[in-house]
Structure 1
Amino acid sequence: MDKPRNQLITEKSIRLLQQNQYTSHVDSKLTKTEMKSWIEQIFDVKVEGINSSRVRAGRKTRLNSNSAGGRKMIIKLRSNSFIPLFLN
């Protein structure tokens, strides 16, 4: 099972952190149940719910060739749980 590619840091994702929701880009083949079990095992937290959406591939330019599509997941944790934001 692939882990999340990277955490998504945008204005909206920072607002969602206040509601204990974490946004991440993941492999497009990863399912919600696989993501939930991975998060619960690695970070030792309880996941309340997951929302996912497909991300279209962007337009490739000369400067930015990293425009692959994939999937974005928003993970909502229980109120007493948290994930450290910047992990490698």
Structure 2
Amino acid sequence: MSLYNIIKRPIVTEKSSLMKEQSNAYVFEVEKSADKVLIKKSVEQLFNVKVKSVKTLIQRGKYKKYGKDTGRTKSWKKAVVSLSDGKIELFEGV
């Protein structure tokens, strides 16, 4: 698995914006098979920053109703990446 394929997209919500301002932590959707070491290497290489810690969690899929049928969206993995110093410019102005 390439380091460029580990991070799928940034998660931009009110809660993640507060985390960014208060504790310099950024939230990403990542590959489900990626571990904390790979996520740390990927963020450091992609954004040229120093990562302090990585916290991961599996976000369960939500139950949805499609007419008469009920289904479930896919589960996905979320990573909260804390930076020791520096910022990721991707989130500026969002």
Range class of TM-score, shorter chain: 0.7 to 0.9
Which residue of 1 is the match for residue 11 of structure 2?
Answer: 8
Aligned sequence identity (%) = 28
Determine whether 1:50 maps to 2:92. Answer: no
- Show structure 1 runs of 5+ residues with no match: none
Which residue of 1 is the match for residue 89 of structure 2?
Answer: 84
Higher strand share: 2
CA RMSD, 1 decimal: 2.1
The secondary structure found in structure 1 opposite 2:49 is coil
Judged with a 3 Å threshold, the aligned counterparts in structure 2 of structure 1 residues 23 and 60 are, in CA distance, closer, same or farther, namely: same
Aligned residue runs from structure 1 range 8-27, under 5 A: 8-18=11-21, 19-27=23-31
- Show structure 2 runs of 5+ residues with no match: none
* 1:59 positional shift: 2.0
Contact 2:16 2:27 in 1 (8 A): yes
The secondary structure found in structure 1 opposite 2:74 is coil
Larger Rg: 2
TM-score normalised by the chain length of structure 1: 0.82
Aligned length: 84
Higher helix share: 2
Once the two structures are superposed, what CA deviation does each residue of 1:6-59 show, in whole Å capped at 9, x if it has no partner?
111111101001121000111110110000011111111100001111110122
Instruction: Give runs of ≥4 in structure 1 deviating > 4 Å.
Output: none
* 1:61 positional shift: 4.2
